[in-house]
Amino acid sequence: MIYHTIALAAGFILDLIFGDPRWLYHPVCLIGNLISFLEKRIRKILPKTSSGELTGGLIEVLIVCILSLGIPAVILYTLYPRLPWLALLLESFWCYQLLATRSLKDESMRVYDRLKYGTLEEARKAVSMIVGRDTAALTEEGVTKAAVETVAENASDGVIAPMLYMAIGGAPLMFLYKGINTMDSMLGYKNDRYLYFGRCAAKLDDAANYLPSRISGGLMVLAAYFSGFDGWNAWKIFRRDSRNHASPNSAQTESVMAGALDVQLAGNAYYFGKLYEKPTIGDPIRLIEPEDIRRANRLLYATAITGVVLFLLIRIVLILCWS
């Protein structure tokens, strides 16, 4: 449908210009509230056993997926035959809300600003807003590395993956992806509370991101070449280190970022007071520095633009072939 193509282009441009519309309640917050509401109700009903929690987690995933996909689909497919321009405006706005290119840059640049012009404590606080690890004891290098890794990982989760699903199935499929992604961020922990209840959400997120993360990595390699970074090293580290993570997807874009910037990312980190030993990604050709946050964002934008141009071209070609 041509409307999905227009909505993707419009949503992407709006995101680059305005970023996250903080004056409006975000749809991901609604999904998050739904996830919390369902978790409380389901836990009250089912037994506190491993099989009970696995069943509860599966029920939660099914309900959240059905509602995340179904509600926007019903709204759009009701409006398009009657009020197509209103439906297009709504779909464009939803696409704008669900893409995170500008907000990812803005949040990471707050860390850069505190590193350059504030105190280390302020920088730790700023980076704690965008990462899950413990930040209280991070050095300047650790803060910088955490911010760069977040930009790299979310280039897939927050930009290319939702953009890809929008290109395939419009805003309803984009909402479905965000529902899956939000469940993983809220339930997909390997701790006592979520080891069983969150397992289905975590596995589904791995599946939903498997192809998008690899497409994101390839797009980032391409973007590294034409945006002035070390494209050859980005490709080399992508091929070598893209599996250096407990998640099958997280190291795809992190490896490209490390190679493109000629730095080493990842390694051991503390989460909830516990040390997790993790392999490194990339080679320490040079020491990481705060300026790498700016460079990471430049590569993020180059990757996002490469992705949206490619997806729009594919959609346009398909529309011409079908017409």
Q: Write b or e for each residue in 238-255: b if 16 or more Cβ atoms lie within 10 A of its Cβ, otherwise e.
A: beebbebbebebbbbbbb
**Domain extent for 118:** 2-322
Q: What is the DSSP string of 235-260?
A: HHHHHHHTT-SSSTTHHHHHHHHHHH
- Of the listed ranges 9-18, 180-189, 219-228, 265-274, the least confidently predicted one is 265-274
Compute how many other C-beta atoms are within 10 angstroms of the C-beta atom of residue 83: 12
In the three-class reduction of DSSP (H, G, I as helix; E, B as strand; rest coil), residue 4 is classed as helix
Of residues 65 and 19, the one with the higher pLDDT is 65
Question: What digits encode the pLDDT tens for the residues 156-179?
Answer: 999 999 999 999 999 999 999 999
Residue 272: which pLDDT band, with cuts at 50, 70 and 90?
Answer: low
Which sign does the torsion angle of CA 216, 219, 221, 223 carry? negative
The pLDDT of residue 208: 97
Q: Crossing angle of helices 291-322/250-261, nearest 10°?
A: 120
175: closest CA among 65, 63, 58? 65
Residue pair 236/255 in contact by the 8 Å Cβ criterion: no
Q: Reduced to 3 states, what is the DSSP secondary structure of residue 190?
A: coil
- % of the chain with per-residue pLDDT over 90: 81
pLDDT at 275: 67
- Does 211 have pLDDT greater than 80? yes
Tell me the per-residue pLDDT of 101-128, one tens digit each, with 9 for 90 and over: 999 999 999 999 999 999 999 999 999 9
As a whole number of Å, the end-to-end CA separation of the chain is 10
Rounded-to-integer distance, Cα 116 and Cα 202, Å:
37
Contacts of 308 (CB under 8 A, 6+ apart): 8, 9, 12, 163
pLDDT band, very low/low/confident/very high, at 25 (cuts 50, 70, 90): confident
Cβ neighbors of 95 (< 8 A, separation 6 or more) are 7, 8, 10, 11, 12, 14, 15, 166, 171, 174
What is the rounded CA–CA span in Å between residue 135 and residue 218?
A: 31
* Residue owning tokens 């080891």: 195
pLDDT of residue 221: 98
Residues 234, 239, 241, 247, Cα dihedral to 10° = 110
What total number of domains does the chain contain? Answer: 1
Quote the pLDDT of residue 246.
79
> In the prediction, which pLDDT does 148 show?
96
How far apart CA 222 and CA 232 sit, in angstroms, is 10
Which percentage of the chain shows pLDDT scores above 70? Answer: 97
Average pLDDT over residues 208-213: 96
Per-residue pLDDT tens digits for 296-322: 999 999 999 999 999 999 999 988 887
CA R_g for the chain: 20
pLDDT of residue 188: 87
Rounded Cα distance between 147 and 109, Å, is 9
What phi and psi, each to the nearest 5 degrees, are found at residue 295? -65, -40
pTM for the full predicted model: 0.93
Rounded mean pLDDT, 128-152: 89
- In the structure, what pLDDT confidence band is assigned to residue 132 with cuts at 50, 70 and 90? confident
Q: Give CA separation, 108 vs 111, 202, 286, in Å.
A: 5, 25, 21
Which H or E run includes 64?
A: helix 50-79
| pLDDT score of 26 more than 90 | no
Task: Report pLDDT for 250.
Answer: 86
Q: Is 276 helix (H, G, I), strand (E, B) or coil?
A: strand
pLDDT at site 273: 65
Tokens 């141009």 belong to which residue? 309
